[in-house]
A = this chain, B = another copy of it.
Amino acid sequence: MAVYTDISEIELGEFLGRYEIGELLSYKGIAEGVENSNFLLHTTSGAYILTLYEKRVNPNDLPFFLGLMQHLNPKGIRCPLPVPCRDGTVIGHLAGRPAAIITFLEGMWVRRPTVDHCREVGKALAAMHLAGRDFELHRANSLSIDAWRPLWTRARDRADEVEPGLAAEVESDLDMLEARWRRDLPQGVIHADLFNDNVFFLGKNLSGLIDFYFACTDTLAYDVATCLNAWCFEKDNASFNLTKGMAMLSAYTAVRPLSPAEAEALPLLAHGSAMRFMLTRLYDWLNTPAGSLVVKKYPIEYLRRMRFHRQVKSASEYGLVLP
């Protein structure tokens, strides 16, 4: 749920005057994306998304995010394409905020993913990793393991309000993750947030990846681990669906094989990824004011995943076929 900023038809008209996308027919604030305000535009040339970047996005990161979509799209990765205005730039300014127009992708995100959807996601993720190899910009992951301890420090004292015992459990896992984290695995552009609301399907076919606003340069297998967390758990958030995991991983590795080191690290990476989402959810849970339009997500769903990963001995338990 978003749309934090309304825009008038006059300021929007002036803004669009710098683009060649036809006459504006309508614009609707849409309830997608958590961080930004998004509008679906209809013009005489088609449908577009207008995004106003709100406070949580650093404007200095926009060339990376938008440049990445411009890099991936022509390589056959189905993702929105930023629309340049007449002077060639893709980042404008509207209602006091950085703003961009991207092409609209038809498709629906699936509320209840199936094995087929997981397979498609694995394939698309690997293709994105390959297509990103020669992307020239670099962006550090601002929510990598180095960010977890500071986040935790700001949430720890109240963690047991959310679930008794949470503080001790996280403290112990965080110590372990920091001690054992692998920084020597293949790096590249990762999406870093490829949850089911960021993948569109038309029927069983993946029609697009969206929302590259957490994308960064980091461990490729960590992106795989995040997708396992996002797509392959049962509704109880505690049981892993091995069939979905196998579908995702076999589709991924058919396009981009995992090295033995990546395979070995997968349980650790999945555990860390679950920690990352637990921590940001916990922080938001404790700090989002009542009445905010931001929908708070329950952190304990990711604590349950952490508990699962803690007892995993080998990536084969996610469905990876080891050589």
Residues of A whose CB lies within 8 Å of any CB of B are 1, 3, 6, 8-10, 12, 24-32, 40, 42, 47, 104-112, 200-202, 290-293
Q: Give the docked Cα–Cα distance between A42 and B105 (Å).
A: 11
Q: B9 and A108: CB pair below 8 A?
A: yes
In the complex, besides A26-B105, A31-B31, 14 extra interface pairs with C-beta distance below 8 angstroms are: A1-B29, A3-B31, A8-B111, A9-B108, A10-B112, A24-B108, A26-B104, A26-B108, A27-B108, A28-B32, A29-B32, A30-B30, A30-B31, A30-B40
Bound Cα distance A28, B9 (Å):
20
Q: Complex formed: what's the CA distance from A24 to B200 in Å?
A: 13
In the docked arrangement, what's the CA distance between A107 and B24, Å? 8
- 25 pairs, CB–CB < 8 Å, chain A vs chain B: A1-B3, A1-B293, A3-B31, A6-B111, A8-B110, A9-B110, A24-B108, A25-B106, A25-B107, A25-B202, A26-B104, A26-B105, A26-B107, A26-B108, A26-B200, A28-B30, A28-B31, A28-B32, A29-B31, A29-B32, A30-B40, A31-B31, A40-B40, A42-B47, A291-B292
How many chain copies does the complex carry? Answer: 2
Min C-beta distance of A303 to chain B, whole Å: 24
Q: Which residues of B contact A9 (CB under 8 A)?
A: 108-111, 201
Separation of A315 and B24 alpha carbons in the complex (Å) = 38
Contact of A26 among B12, B42, B106, B110 (CB under 8 A): B106
Contact of A291 among B1, B104, B290 (CB under 8 A): B290
| Minimum CB–CB distance for A296 against chain B, Å | 10
Residues from chain B with a CB closer than 8 A to the CB of A108 are 9, 12, 24, 26-27
Which residues of chain B are near A30, meaning CB under 8 Å? 28-31, 40
Q: Complex formed: what's the CA distance from A107 to B23 in Å?
A: 11
Which residues of the partner chain B approach A202 to less than 8 Å between Cβ atoms? 25
A4 to B28, CA, bound (A): 16
Q: Which residue of B lies closest to A290 (CB)?
A: B291
User: Given A29-B31, A29-B32, A30-B30, are A42 and B112 neighbors across the interface (CB < 8 Å)?
Assistant: no
**A111-B10 in contact (CB<8A):** yes
In the bound assembly, the distance between CA atoms of A290 and B291 in angstroms comes to 5
Measured between C-beta atoms, what is the minimum distance from A30 to chain B in Å?
A: 4
Chain B residues near A31 (CB, 8 Å)? 3, 28-31
Docked CA distance A105–B42 (Å): 11
Chain B residue numbers with a CB within 8 Å of A291 are 290-292
Determine which residue in A1, A40, A107, A108 has the highest number of CB atoms from chain B within 10 A of its CB, and name it. Answer: A108
List of B residues within 8 angstroms of A24 by Cβ: 108
Question: A10–B24 Cα gap in the complex (Å)?
Answer: 32
CA distance A12 to B110 in the complex (A): 11
Question: Would you call A293 and B293 a contact (CB within 8 A)?
Answer: yes
CA distance in complex: A109, B12 (Å): 12
Q: Min CB distance, A4 to chain B, in Å?
A: 10
A198 to chain B, nearest CB (A): 14
Residue of B nearest to A108 (CB): B9
- Determine the chain B residues whose CB is within 8 A of the CB of A200 once the complex forms: 26
Question: Considering the chains assembled together, what is the distance between the CA atoms of A42 and B40 in angstroms?
Answer: 11
Give the distance to chain B from A271, nearest Cβ to Cβ, in Å. 30
